[in-house]
């Protein structure tokens, strides 16, 4: 399940880039957030397997609680941050913590009122998601992949699951560097350091 979640995250990320290129910014943003969540899910499952292997299996109740987090969008969004090997923008971290990322994800696909059952609340549509917002979200996910894959190929970072680690090589890094050329200054600095390793 961990490997499939990781592969699905990559698929969603690639689809978000394709949608961005066709100017479908709300859908590109939506899929990019889903991609982020799938990376978070893979991290959660990786942690579960590692702890079960090292510390032994936990009781049914503890394991059910742990695996139940698979269905928490905010938990998965937060776990994405755990494996980001560079400093993410404070505004992005705050958007996860305060639930704004989840709200923005929902607003990118549904027409409705900001507050349920309140007609006098602000009306929202997916068309409020503009190019800049979608680009920023896709860039964060792409930077995550590029930094992680370069770091693993340079043997500076690791992922506990060998099947995932095998995917994250220099060819993978180059592929996503060419697929999406925008990058954050934070990721650019880390990549520059890793290149010298």
pLDDT at 46 over 90: no
Cα(82)–Cα(36) distance, rounded to whole angstroms? 12
Q: Which two tokens stand for residue 122?
A: 């602000």
Mean pLDDT of 40-57: 82
Share of the chain above pLDDT 70, in %: 95
pLDDT at 92 over 70: yes
When the pLDDT of each residue in the chain is averaged and rounded to a whole number, the result is: 90
What's the confidence (pLDDT) of residue 121?
63
* pLDDT 10s digits, 16-38: 999 999 999 999 999 999 999 99
Contact 80, 95 (CB under 8 A): no
Share of the chain above pLDDT 90, in %: 66
Q: 164-195: b or e for each residue (b if 16 or more CB lie within 10 Å)?
A: bbebbeeebbeebbeebeebbebbeebbeebe
Mean pLDDT of 146-166: 94
pLDDT at 119 over 70: no
Contact 31, 193 (CB under 8 A): no
Confidence of residue 68 (pLDDT cuts 50, 70, 90): confident
What's the confidence (pLDDT) of residue 61?
81
Contact 194, 150 (CB under 8 A): yes
* pLDDT 10s digits, 179-194: 999 999 999 999 999 9
What's the confidence (pLDDT) of residue 57?
76
Chain length of the chain: 197
What's the confidence (pLDDT) of residue 50?
74
pTM: 0.89
Confidence of residue 117 (pLDDT cuts 50, 70, 90): low
Mean pLDDT of 122-131: 85
Mean pLDDT of 109-130: 76
Is 120 exposed, middle or buried, given 0-12, 13-18 or 19+ CB atoms closer than 10 A? exposed
pLDDT at 77 over 70: yes
pLDDT at 53 over 80: no
């Amino acid at each position: 399940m961990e490997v499939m979640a990781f592969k699905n995250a990559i698929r969603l990320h690639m689809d978000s880039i394709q949608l961005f290129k066709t100017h479908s910014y709300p859908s590109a943003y939506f899929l990019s957030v889903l991609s982020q969540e799938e990376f978070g899910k893979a991290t959660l499952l990786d942690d579960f397997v590692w702890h079960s292997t090292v510390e032994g299996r936990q009781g049914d109740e503890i394991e059910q609680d742990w695996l139940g987090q698979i269905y928490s969008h905010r938990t998965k969004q937060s776990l994405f941050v755990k494996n980001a090997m560079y400093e993410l923008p404070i505004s992005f971290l705050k958007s996860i913590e305060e639930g704004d990322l989840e709200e923005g994800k929902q607003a990118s696909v549904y027409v409705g009122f900001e507050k349920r059952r309140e007609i006098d609340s602000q009306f929202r549509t997916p068309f409020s998601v503009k190019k800049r917002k979608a680009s920023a979200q896709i860039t964060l996910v792409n930077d995550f992949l590029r930094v992680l894959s370069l770091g693993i190929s340079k043997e500076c970072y690791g992922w506990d699951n060998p099947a995932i680690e095998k995917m994250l090589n220099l060819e993978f890094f180059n592929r996503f560097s060419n697929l999406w050329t925008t990058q954050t200054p934070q990721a650019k600095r880390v990549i520059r350091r890793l290149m010298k390793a």
